[in-house]
Amino acid sequence: MKKWFWWVIVAVVAGMIGVFLLVGDDTTDNHLANYDPDTVQLTDYIWGFDNTDKTEADLDAYIAGKPVVVEYGDFQCSGCAYFAIYSMDPIQQQYGDRVIFVYRHFPLTSIHPYTMMAHRAATAAANQGQFWEMHDLLYSRQQFWVESADPAAVFVTYAGELGLDVVQFELDVEDSATYNRIDNDIESAGQYRINGTPTLFINGEVVDGVPSFEQFSSLLDAALIEMVTEDSSSTVTE
């Protein structure tokens, strides 16, 4: 046989071995390892809960018996900004820690050119314990940074305004761990077949549309009553 034929055989075998090692290697980067979108986790952004030095047991105690609201949002989405300012913010103030609020990334990069920058900025701020503060700035000033010639530079000024270590912030914005953190949420959104923002869940049940403050409040009141009823029933049963 000609030499070139043997080289082809060697290349094919080497490729097959490479695929086998890639599939079988437990060290392969898996963004969804130990990630369950149906469960609130320490890696989630949980309003009012500082996960620094906290354990899963601490989190379980914090969320026990409370309705869980999960939002998949996009920082460049105008509907998300409206919801954050006029529905979520007053809801959080009214219900406080009686309700668990979780935010997850779902940047729609195909229609929002600056959204990934914003999500990286929020993730970098989260590394310094100020995700929700950056979240509020990004939504309340959305029109400004969207129309800016250099949104990335604007986000750095926001980091300084929040008192973050700006040098570390800029490093974290570009860190691969930041992209992986965002990818976790994007990939989990695929499990729910989410295709728009904001998409909201209350105790795992999707909420239709973008609720007003009054509508959202009614839904939460119903969820609170339902959980109290279920808790009372289980106590009687025991």
Is 63 within 8 Å of 26 (Cβ atoms)?
no
- Dist. CA 88–CA 101, nearest whole Å: 9
- Type and span of the H or E element at 27: none
pLDDT tens by residue, 127-166? 999 999 999 999 999 999 999 999 999 999 999 999 999 9
pLDDT tens by residue, 210-219? 999 999 999 9
pLDDT over 80 (residue 9): no
- Type and span of the H or E element at 224: helix 213-237
Question: Strands 199-202, 68-73: parallel, antiparallel or unpaired by DSSP?
Answer: antiparallel
Is 89 within 8 Å of 207 (Cβ atoms)?
no
If you average pLDDT over every residue of the chain, what do you get? 86
Amino acid identity, residue 49? F
E strands of 161-209, at which residues?
199-202, 205-207
- State the pTM of this model: 0.83
- Token pair 């009214």: residue: 94
Return the pLDDT at 52: 87
- Token pair listed for 10: 């060697």
- Dist. CA 197–CA 210, nearest whole Å: 9
Helix (H, G, I), strand (E, B) or coil at 108: coil
Answer whether CATH 3.40.30.10 is correct for domain 41-46+67-237: yes
